[in-house]
């Protein structure tokens, strides 16, 4: 390799710039990595599905990285109409990304069939928007589909789409197989293909058991990698760089279920040059990383953003990690997020889990708790905000950590919640920070069944816990306990009944009770729940929150689809009414 190369800054036609503090870490590093133009993926939480969202996201990125050209994409989903496509084109949006449902990070809203999108594709073909395909089928044991053949099995869809929309420009993203390379080459000039840097280096042996190399699609066989290398060496004009750089917090990579994604942005072009050099393709760098993609997309840097870079061949220590400010304090102090989730889980803590946990050393328990709490809080920070609302019958203060968790959407001003939590004293406040609560459903233990709770006050539940009561008894009185993930000790619990105006009267040492003739706006006396939710139980609650958040996208879609009409309004009702 020459020891110094000067060339135009590169173009990365597939990058995940994320949001929040992660975006603040990533965006300035794009230029550092030698890239001046990038095509931004829309798989945020929530996904980018409208022109307005995309433009707002672009503005945020530009504030963080003013010297980079950001090309924006929309997320293919049912909300995307042909009209939105035309509007997007008018406002400079470049393409639409399709994720098959559930195959990768934030693909819960992904597509299940292309058929319903044909009018959208037609509009895209007409106005000249690019279709970007995450080319994998979801794993399906019955069909013998798994990560190793998910891409190859997808290729028939690429062929079909090209056949049906020959003028639509389609990019098969992050190809990993010889089959994909051959297919793209065999199709017409409107079909392009991105290749990541890491797929030019890795094979299956490199990610099996090594979480930092795990991404979707996974790296495949050596002969597949060879096919990728060959097509770069050939300088084929329809193959170009798309790093698919996809950062995740370390705790989400270095864990039992590692998130898919390899983060390469800060060192993108030095890394690419090193890999190309290793198989004699350094002379292909310019075409692959700077020219082919721009030609295929018909784009160039925005005014004043073109620049050159110089690569120098010398030793470089790759940082072990890149930090971003996720401190709890920062999150506590600075956010005001719209709360948008309500949980619906009815559950017990299995005794065996309890024993396992309690038998651990205190130090280990502390560590576990810390990790879980941090994981949850980070989700809250990067996504939306959540409150856990439990509905309980009378006397549940004696029942331990057994609750029905209901799924709710609320707008919550976390700052004022936080302030109030800090008081931790007798408090009475008429101005609840909780607005627009709507309870949308519950899930019964041991079933996959979700129900809209129109009358929370009449929840029949069958459980061993309830057998201490009359098993046929329906719960006549309910309370809503609202937990904030930022109130780690659950020192404060809002309890209410039959009303959305949360009136709070915290009596730290009292037990929970309420007046049986309570009306909608009566004050409710509650304990501060510390006794009920000790450290361990808090952990359990947090774990439940996490579990539900993980599934929330899927659940919410299912619930909302089924009970669209029912969930429009608040449904907490007083049984006595």
Least distance to ligand NCD from the beta carbon of 366, Å?
30
* Residue 60: exposure state from Cβ atoms within 10 A (0-12, 13-18, ≥19): middle
How many residues in the shown chain lie near ligand NCD by CB under 6 A?
Answer: 12
Radius of gyration over alpha carbons of the chain, in Å? Answer: 26
Comparing CA positions, the residue from 429, 567, 563, 439 lying closest to residue 498 is 439
Q: Which stretch, 99-107, 146-154, 399-407, 510-518, contacts ligand NCD (CB under 6 A)?
A: 99-107
**Residue 454 DSSP one-character state:** S
* Residue 533: exposure state from Cβ atoms within 10 A (0-12, 13-18, ≥19): buried
Least distance to ligand NCD from the beta carbon of 72, Å?
16
Is residue 215 part of the contact set for ligand NCD (CB under 6 A)? Answer: yes
Is residue 246 part of the contact set for ligand NCD (CB under 6 A)? Answer: yes
What is the rounded distance in angstroms from the CA atom of residue 531 to the CA atom of residue 521?
27
**x-marked contacts with ligand NCD along 118-137 as a string, rule CB under 6 A:** ----------------x---
Q: Which of residues 383-442 bind ligand NCD (CB under 6 A)?
A: none
Closer residue to ligand NCD, CB minimum distance, 16 or 162: 16
What is the rounded distance in angstroms from the CA atom of residue 441 to the CA atom of residue 129?
39
What is the rounded distance in angstroms from the CA atom of residue 17 to the CA atom of residue 106?
13
Contacting residue, 51, 73, 105, 264, with ligand NCD by CB under 6 A: 105
Contacting residue, 200, 202, 260, 391, with ligand NCD by CB under 6 A: 260
Helix, strand or coil, per DSSP, at residue 377: helix
Is residue 220 part of the contact set for ligand NCD (CB under 6 A)? Answer: no
Question: What is the helix, strand, coil percentage profile of the chain, to 5?
Answer: 40, 20, 45
Q: Which stretch, 101-109, 281-289, 486-494, 560-568, contacts ligand NCD (CB under 6 A)?
A: 101-109
**x-marked contacts with ligand NCD along 548-567 as a string, rule CB under 6 A:** --------------------
Least distance to ligand NCD from the beta carbon of 97, Å?
8
Least distance to ligand NCD from the beta carbon of 242, Å?
9
Give the number of other Cβ atoms within 10 Å of residue 232's Cβ. Answer: 26
Contacting residue, 104, 190, 194, 538, with ligand NCD by CB under 6 A: 104
What is the rounded distance in angstroms from the CA atom of residue 96 to the CA atom of residue 85?
9
N-term to C-term CA, the chain: 81
Least distance to ligand NCD from the beta carbon of 245, Å?
9
Residues near 332 by beta carbon (within 8 Å), at least 6 away in sequence: 414, 418, 486
Least distance to ligand NCD from the beta carbon of 74, Å?
15
Contacting residue, 12, 125, 152, 244, with ligand NCD by CB under 6 A: 244
Q: What is the DSSP string of 271-302?
A: HHHHHHHHTT-GGGHHIIIIIHHHHHHT--PP
Q: Which stretch, 59-67, 98-106, 272-280, 473-481, contacts ligand NCD (CB under 6 A)?
A: 98-106
Is residue 261 part of the contact set for ligand NCD (CB under 6 A)? Answer: yes
Q: 320 vs 125, 212, 249, CA distance in Å?
A: 44, 11, 13
Closer residue to ligand NCD, CB minimum distance, 224 or 244: 244
What is the rounded distance in angstroms from the CA atom of residue 3 to the CA atom of residue 444?
65
Q: Which stretch, 80-88, 100-108, 225-233, 329-337, contacts ligand NCD (CB under 6 A)?
A: 100-108
Least distance to ligand NCD from the beta carbon of 556, Å?
20
Least distance to ligand NCD from the beta carbon of 215, Å?
3
Q: Which stretch, 104-112, 151-159, 357-365, 433-441, contacts ligand NCD (CB under 6 A)?
A: 104-112
Give the number of other Cβ atoms within 10 Å of residue 147's Cβ. Answer: 18
Is residue 457 part of the contact set for ligand NCD (CB under 6 A)? Answer: no
Is residue 169 part of the contact set for ligand NCD (CB under 6 A)? Answer: no
Least distance to ligand NCD from the beta carbon of 341, Å?
21
**Residue 170 DSSP one-character state:** E
**x-marked contacts with ligand NCD along 27-66 as a string, rule CB under 6 A:** ----------------x-----------------------
Contacting residue, 5, 13, 16, 432, with ligand NCD by CB under 6 A: 16
What is the rounded distance in angstroms from the CA atom of residue 500 to the CA atom of residue 381?
25
Least distance to ligand NCD from the beta carbon of 99, Å?
7
Q: What is the DSSP string of 219-263?
A: P--HHHHHHHHHHHHHT-TTEEE---B----HHHHSSTTPPS-B-
Q: Which stretch, 19-27, 102-110, 418-426, 450-458, contacts ligand NCD (CB under 6 A)?
A: 102-110
Q: Which stretch, 103-111, 265-273, 314-322, 508-516, contacts ligand NCD (CB under 6 A)?
A: 103-111
What is the rounded distance in angstroms from the CA atom of residue 287 to the CA atom of residue 289?
6
- Convert 385-441 into a string of H (helix), E (strand) and C (coil): EECEEEECCCCHHHCCCCEEEEEEEEEECHHHHHHHHHHCCCCEECCCCEEEEEEEE
Closer residue to ligand NCD, CB minimum distance, 176 or 390: 176
Interface residue list for ligand NCD (CB under 6 A):
16, 43, 104-106, 134, 215-216, 244, 246, 260-261
């Amino acid at each position: 390799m020459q020891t110094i190369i000067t060339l135009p800054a590169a173009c990365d036609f597939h990058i995940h710039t994320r949001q929040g503090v992660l975006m603040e870490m990533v965006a300035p590093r794009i230029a550092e990595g030698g890239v001046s133009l990038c095509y931004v993926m829309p798989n945020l939480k929530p996904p980018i599905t409208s022109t307005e969202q995309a433009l707002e996201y672009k503005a945020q990125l530009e504030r963080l990285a003013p010297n980079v050209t950001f090309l924006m994409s929309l997320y293919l989903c049912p909300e995307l109409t042909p009209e939105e496509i035309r509007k997007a084109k008018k406002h400079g949006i470049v393409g639409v990304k399709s994720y098959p449902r559930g195959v990768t990070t934030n693909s819960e809203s992904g597509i299940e069939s292309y058929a319903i999108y044909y009018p959208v594709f037609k509009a895209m073909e007409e106005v000249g928007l690019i279709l970007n395909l995450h080319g994998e089928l979801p794993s399906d044991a019955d069909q013998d589909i798994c990560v190793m053949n998910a891409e190859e099995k997808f290729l028939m869809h690429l062929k079909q789409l090209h056949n049906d929309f020959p003028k639509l420009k389609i990019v098969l993203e992050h190809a990993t197989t010889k089959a994909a390379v051959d297919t793209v080459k065999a199709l017409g000039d409107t079909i392009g293909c991105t290749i990541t840097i890491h797929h030019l280096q890795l094979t299956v042996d490199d990610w099996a058991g090594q979480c930092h190399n795990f991404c979707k699609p996974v790296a495949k066989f050596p002969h597949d990698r060879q096919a990728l290398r060959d097509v770069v060496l050939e300088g084929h004009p329809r193959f170009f760089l798309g790093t698919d750089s996809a950062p995740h917090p370390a705790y989400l990579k270095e864990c039992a279920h590692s998130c898919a994604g390899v983060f390469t942005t800060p060192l993108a072009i030095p890394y690419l040059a090193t890999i190309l050099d290793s198989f004699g393709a350094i002379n292909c760098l310019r075409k692959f990383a700077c020219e082919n993609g721009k030609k295929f997309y018909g784009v160039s840097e925005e005014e004043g953003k073109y620049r050159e870079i110089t690569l120098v061949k010398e030793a470089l220590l790759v940082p072990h990690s890149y930090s971003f400010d996720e401190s709890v304090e920062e999150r506590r102090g600075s956010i005001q997020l719209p709360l948008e989730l309500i949980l619906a889980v009815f559950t017990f803590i299995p005794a065996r889990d309890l024993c396992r946990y309690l038998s651990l050393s205190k130090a280990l328990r502390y560590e576990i708790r810390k990790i879980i709490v941090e994981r949850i809080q980070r989700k809250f920070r990067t996504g939306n905000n959540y409150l856990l609302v439990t509905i309980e019958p009378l006397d549940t203060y004696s029942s331990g950590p057994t609750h029905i968790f209901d799924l709710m959407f609320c707008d919550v001003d976390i700052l004022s919640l936080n302030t109030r939590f800090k008081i931790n004293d007798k408090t009475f406040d008429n101005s609840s920070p909780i607005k627009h609560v709507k309870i949308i459903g519950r899930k019964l233990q041991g079933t996959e069944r979700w129900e809209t709770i129109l009358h929370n006050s009449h929840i029949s539940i069958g459980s061993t816990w309830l057998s201490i009561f009359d098993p046929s008894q329906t719960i006549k009185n309910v309370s809503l306990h609202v937990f904030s993930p930022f109130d780690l000790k659950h020192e404060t619990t809002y309890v209410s009944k039959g009303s959305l105006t949360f009136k709070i009267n915290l009596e730290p040492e009292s037990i929970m009770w309420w007046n049986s003739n309570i009306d909608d706006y009566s004050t409710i006396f509650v304990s501060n729940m510390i006794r009920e939710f000790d450290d361990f139980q808090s952990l359990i609650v947090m774990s439940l929150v996490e579990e539900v958040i993980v599934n929330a996208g899927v659940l919410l879609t299912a619930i909302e689809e089924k009970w669209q009409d029912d969930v429009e309004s608040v449904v907490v009702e007083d049984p006595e009414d």
